Chain A
Amino acid sequence: MATLFFQGVMAMFSLKIFTLLIVGVGVGIIFGAVPGLTSVMAIALFLPVTYGLSPIEGMSILMALYVGSVSGGLISAILLKMPGTPASIATTFDGHPMAEKGQAYKAIGIGIIFSFIGTIISMLALMFIAPVLANFAIKFGPHEYFAVGIFSLTLIAGLAGKSLVKGLITALLGMMVGTIGTAPIDASLRYTFKSLNLRTGFDILIVLVGLYAINEVLSSAGNKDLMENKNMTRYSVTAKGLGFTFKEFWGQKWNALISGLIGVGIGILPGIGGATSNIISYSVSKNRSKYPELYGTGIIDGVVASETANNANIGGAMIPLLTLGIPGDAATAMLLGGLIIHGITPGPLLFTQSPDIVYGILAAMFISSIIMVFMEYIGLKGFIKILEVKKYYLLPIIIVLCGVGAYGLNNRTFDIWGILIFGIIGFTMKAFDYPLAPMIMGFVLGPIVELNLRRGMQYSQGNVLEFFTRPISGTFIVIALLSIIFSIVRGFLTKSKQKTTN
């Protein structure tokens, strides 16, 4: 493993890949830092760039974008009290008070270093957990994949939003979009309305770019304050060195480790991404602290918890993606699309068939996180300048680039219509308070569930019971049922709690 990783790292030092990594991290940080631009958008814009690259080159720049954008959010979270991406919401809690106390540079320094540590923790987790899991998953047949798919769906629907019913509804909507096109096994046409373009169904990238990138542009377009960069205050960031002492750093070791593990753990669970992990890890850190009352007044512990967890999410989310082909969140779903474009199917076989890709991804994560530290320290003033660029100059160009990416998939304008339509769908769903994450996961998992259900039925010659009697698949189905029951009970509990407080 060590040699493979070392080879992966060496491969990163070709001039081309190294340049791609630097560009990727830089653009990623910008997209993370500017409110209204997100990780998914950054990855979406660079997909057409990867069409012409080799798989390793392509995945390297996408990983660099991912790592950079998750970390970049801390800059605006601390300086503007506005998280650049949902992954750094909890960074504002203590980061901004620190800036108000004149410790903006210290807060940013802490954020940068612990983003790095979070990435490294999750990279190690990916390195050691993924091969074990892949070894286990290699025995999976259709029954097991079906059960894992169902289990993942129940998790997402239950945890993604405030309402279980709404979460399930949007997951179903995603699964229904997934049925458009040619059916698996017997290739019947479904919901194509005699359109030739619909026969292939919607590409995952079209759905994602629409739901996440175009939707975000539309929301920003309707937000005047965001357009004109209101609420910008300048904080002094002129200081030298790392911004904090070694003693302060070392004092955070347990906090960082626990937050990192929370980030990895939440990342592994499909559908719940960095947007959740930073908040959970912040509250865990607060609960186990000796001075919880100081949280929110501007102490480094809060920034450490949030920034370690959100970057640790990256490696966690990569684990189910690489071993099972099930993405952990929206950004990894984009990476799934990126892999498929290059003809690579993620799954347990990836580890034996193309270890160069797996270790290339690991190495790209590693080098990107180092580049990220240097860039954020050295280029901090530049990134702050970019925060002041007017959104109404950026957004039109972003839509054009999303359009280029969509068109490049199949050379047809139909796909650009697709991203616009899914953008409108996503915007409407948000306006009606329906969560988006279950939809995209339903879209990814639905076809996996159906295909393996039908394959499994063929295997066991029409005997449904095998889905329950096979040990692994049976276990997952039981856990899936438990997860639904848990969500329902939790829903009732919070309702009765609300009633008693009222």
Chain B
Amino acid sequence: MEKLKKNKPLVGALFLLVLAILYLLGANTIHIYKGAGASSVGSAFYPRVLGWLLLGLCSIQVFTVLKQMKAKTVEENEEASENLPNYITILLTIVSTGVYIALLEPIGFLIMSALYVFALILILSPKKKRKLVFAALLSLTSSIIIYFLFVKGFSLVLPSGILG
């Protein structure tokens, strides 16, 4: 973790550098129209410009980061580590949201939203302060209200799933 934190700027810049190369390679697969009235600026021109610019800028960034890392070896590591965000909670939030989206269409909006809101309240709330009954009631009523408000009130279509 400590090591990752120190190398973070470099990792970021290198990742973008790779992305720029992949993007440029992708530009080669773009089909270019060559019929009558074809212009010198085809559909692959603009992506190529963007790709090369990004490649150039990322190289500058990698270079600057390396120079900075040489200049100051062990510094700025004193940033209070207690202010680090809680990555496990964030990861759980992302995973549960992914599950929610994946099951939204097969199971339906009402059931999935109620389950999702309930699960996320549990993930986000501190252990000592969990009120299970309140969380369950809140998740159930909120998803029912949202569903009927948007479907009946604003004539939106939401997946009805197994209940439909």
Contact = CB atoms under 8 A, between A and B. Distances in A.
Interface of A: 48-49, 51-52, 165-166, 168-169, 172-173, 175-176, 179, 183, 185-186, 188-191, 217-219, 221-224, 227-228, 390-393, 395-397, 399-401, 403-404, 407-408, 411, 413, 416-417, 420, 424, 427, 432-434, 446, 449-450, 453-454, 457-458, 462
Contacts of B93: 217-218, 221
8 contacts: A179-B46, A221-B86, A221-B93, A222-B86, A227-B125, A227-B126, A396-B124, A404-B150
A439 to B, nearest CB: 12
A410 to B, nearest CB: 11
B97 to A, nearest CB: 6
B86 A404 contact: no
Contacts of B157: 408, 411
Find the residue from B41, B46, B60 having the highest chain A CB count within 10 A: B46
A221 B89 contact: yes
Contacts of B23: 176, 191
A222 B89 contact: yes
**From DSSP, what is the main secondary structure of chain A's interface residues?**
helix
B86 A395 contact: no
Given A190-B47, A191-B26, A413-B105, 8 more contacts: A169-B58, A172-B50, A179-B46, A185-B43, A189-B30, A190-B43, A191-B47, A457-B39
B39 A462 contact: yes
Interface in B5-64: 8-9, 11-12, 16, 23, 26, 30-33, 37, 39-44, 46-47, 50-51, 53-54, 57-58, 60-61, 64
B85 interface: yes
Contact of A222 (B46, B90, B138, B158): B90
Contacts of A188: 30-33, 42-44
Given A218-B94, A396-B120, A165 B57 contact: yes
Contacts, number: 166
Given A166-B61, A457-B41, A395 B154 contact: no
Contact of B42 (A49, A166, A172, A186): A186
Contact of B154 (A48, A173, A424): A48
Contact of A186 (B33, B58, B85, B158): B33
Given A172-B53, A186-B33, A191-B26, A450 B40 contact: no
A390 B130 CA distance: 11
List 3 A-B pairs, minimum CB-CB distance, nearest first. Answer: A222-B85, A392-B124, A396-B120
A47 to B, nearest CB: 11
A391 B124 CA distance: 9
Contact of A183 (B43, B125, B129, B135): B43
Nearest to B34: A186
B101 A416 contact: yes
Contacts of B60: 165
A485 B85 CA distance: 37
B39 A176 contact: no
A457 B90 contact: no
Contacts of B54: 169, 172-173, 176
A396 B116 contact: yes
Contact of A52 (B121, B154, B158): B154
Given A165-B61, A219-B85, A400 B30 contact: no
Given A222-B85, A223-B85, A396-B124, A462 B40 contact: yes
Contacts of A397: 117, 142, 146
A420 B9 contact: no
Contacts of B44: 188, 190
Given A52-B156, A396-B117, A403-B101, A224 B126 contact: yes
